[in-house]
Structure 1
Amino acid sequence: MGRSLQRKMNVSCELSGEEQREILDAAMQAGHILLENGAEIFRVEETIDRICHYYGIESGNAFVLSNGIFITSGNEREEIFAKVQHIPVSGVHLNRVAAVNQLSREIVEGRYTIGEVRERLDEIRVMPGKTKTMQILASGVGSACFCMLFGGNFMDSAAAFVSGVLLYFYVLYISGPHLSKIVGNIGGGALVTFLCSVMYLLSVGQHLNFMIIGSIMPLVPGVAFTNAIRDIADGDYISGSVRMLDALLVFFCIAMGVGLVFSLFRGLTGGVML
């Protein structure tokens, strides 16, 4: 611990302008990975500050929003630095968030030079997520389990499993690559409702409401909604409001897709299903 502290003091006194920029770029990259993959605002700011302070940047200051990071530094002993990065609101990859968190702890323990930190961050950025096969199966199993949790029976859960599997085929191969977020979520809600309604009419399941509720769950942005509440609770009202609006938009689009298909089937069946 004493050697780590001495090293930190020496770095603080000997930093060149190029070294300062490298440290701040690494801090920005770590924050970018966290924010891009679903981390909370306070976690991003804390990680940036931790990296800057450990490597001797005393005047570093980070301002983080839900889709952007602003970093500045500079005083009488440090060169002036300012950088802004835009980070679009995207999906959640908690394995990358966990990897950056672990890296920040190891940095404070003195395990990495700043060059090694940059290399490790590059590795984390390209860290593969779950395979498509696993995501599809997880969607099916999750849909079946939620259906059972909400009160469905075995046949309802089996129908929800099939619907959840087909839903994630749609998400991975049609909605994600080719459709906007709004259209994709409307289509996802409509697809789930259509599949469950057809299976219900074929007597595959007995409780249409539980089948649809369970099958829709893979589309629900639970992490984004939870992070929005946490950001608002931490006083990050702008970022929390943006994330909350994004989550509510998804809820609205799913409900619109469900309502469109219900209206269609009501017209075709004369309201028998409902």
Structure 2
Amino acid sequence: MLTARQVLKVAGLAGKIILTNGAEIYRTEDTIMEICHAYGVDDVESFVTPTGIFLSIDDGEYVHTKLKRVHNRTINLDKISKINNFSRQLQEETLSFQQALAQLQKIEADGPEYSFLTVTSLTSIACAMYVILVRANYINFFPALIASFASQLMIKQSGFLKEINYIPEMIAGFIAGLVAVLFHRFGAANYNLSVVTVSGILAFVPGVSATNAIRDAIDNDLISATSRGTEVILSSISLAAGVALSLGGLNL
């Protein structure tokens, strides 16, 4: 049987992993509660925000509390799926503290399943499909592909700049707009400036964050909904500012 502190460590780490990889607030709290219940802990309270996890367990004699600070967040649905499977596994077979911690640490340390080039290339193709979606001339497909690939490549290779909030989105918007302008000005007359630009920034549109903000609002997690909503607005403004800089810099 695990001690309260050990349960706190396992549940807190699982919650941190899914929260930092794009999970909604309710999913994070439910996962923490399910893990605690699997270890026989019923008197547990969890309070999750986009930047932190507060977890408390009452073992009848003492109240044990743990705080997990979350600084950086990304989108990795594969890790969320693995944590969900881990939580379900505990309902069927209770793992020892060492086994549970080892599994969680492995999930946290796992790198991307596919190579950088594969992910970037396939994402660029998907973004370039916007040309087909809006029924633009197919001649725009290649410029859209290049705009998306160039913006992603620049961000992922930009070093410390990608660690500064909203700067990557601004750079991505600038690169996408710049590529679109170059093709429009020096390429064929049929190149559509707006379609190529939008395709170039699609990979950075905060769609998952917007969806999570709405879900959090529906679940009455107003702090998280407001925080995520603000993040979505600022990311969108940064993308738009980057595009405006590239178009305005070339007087278009």
TM-score by length of 1: 0.86
Which one of 194, 197, 215 corresponds to residue 230 of structure 1?
A: 215
Query: d(CA) in 1 for partners of 2:22 and 2:238?
Result: 21
Comparing 105-114 with 152-161, greater Cα deviation is found at: 105-114
Shift of 1:89: 4.2
Q: Let me know the Cα RMSD of the aligned residues.
A: 1.6
2:153 is matched with: 169
Query: d(CA) in 1 for partners of 2:223 and 2:191?
Result: 44
Query: Deviations 1:93-140 (Å, cap 9, x if unpaired)?
Result: 111000000110111012533331111101100111242112220232
Letter in 1 for 2:129: C
Conservation of the 8 A alpha-carbon contact between 2:173 and 2:200: no
2:89 is matched with: 106
1:86 is matched with: 69
Which one of 255, 260, 267 corresponds to residue 245 of structure 2?
A: 260
1:186 aligns with 2:179: no
1:23 aligns with 2:23: no
Letter in 1 for 2:64: F
Conservation of the 8 A alpha-carbon contact between 1:66 and 1:240: no
Letter in 1 for 2:145: F
Conservation of the 8 A alpha-carbon contact between 1:147 and 1:215: no
Shift of 1:148: 2.1
1:57 aligns with 2:41: yes
Conservation of the 8 A alpha-carbon contact between 1:193 and 1:258: yes
Conservation of the 8 A alpha-carbon contact between 1:26 and 1:114: yes
Query: d(CA) in 2 for partners of 1:92 and 1:248?
Result: 18
SS at match of 1:151: coil
SS at match of 1:181: coil
Conservation of the 8 A alpha-carbon contact between 1:37 and 1:92: yes
Q: Which is greater in Rg? A: 1
Which one of 111, 118, 121 corresponds to residue 128 of structure 1?
A: 111
Query: d(CA) in 2 for partners of 1:97 and 1:111?
Result: 20
Query: Deviations 1:151-185 (Å, cap 9, x if unpaired)?
Result: 322210111001111111101101x6334222222
Conservation of the 8 A alpha-carbon contact between 2:151 and 2:171: no
Shift of 1:263: 1.6
1:209 is matched with: 194
Query: d(CA) in 1 for partners of 2:136 and 2:176?
Result: 16
Unpaired segments ≥5 residues, structure 2: none
Letter in 2 for 1:126: A
Unpaired segments ≥5 residues, structure 1: 1-10
Query: d(CA) in 2 for partners of 1:112 and 1:197?
Result: 57
Conservation of the 8 A alpha-carbon contact between 1:188 and 1:257: yes
TM-score by length of 2: 0.93
Shift of 1:225: 1.1
SS at match of 1:83: strand
Q: Alignment identity in percent?
A: 26
1:96 aligns with 2:79: yes
Shift of 1:206: 2.1
Conservation of the 8 A alpha-carbon contact between 2:4 and 2:57: no
1:4 is matched with: none
Query: d(CA) in 2 for partners of 1:240 and 1:123?
Result: 30
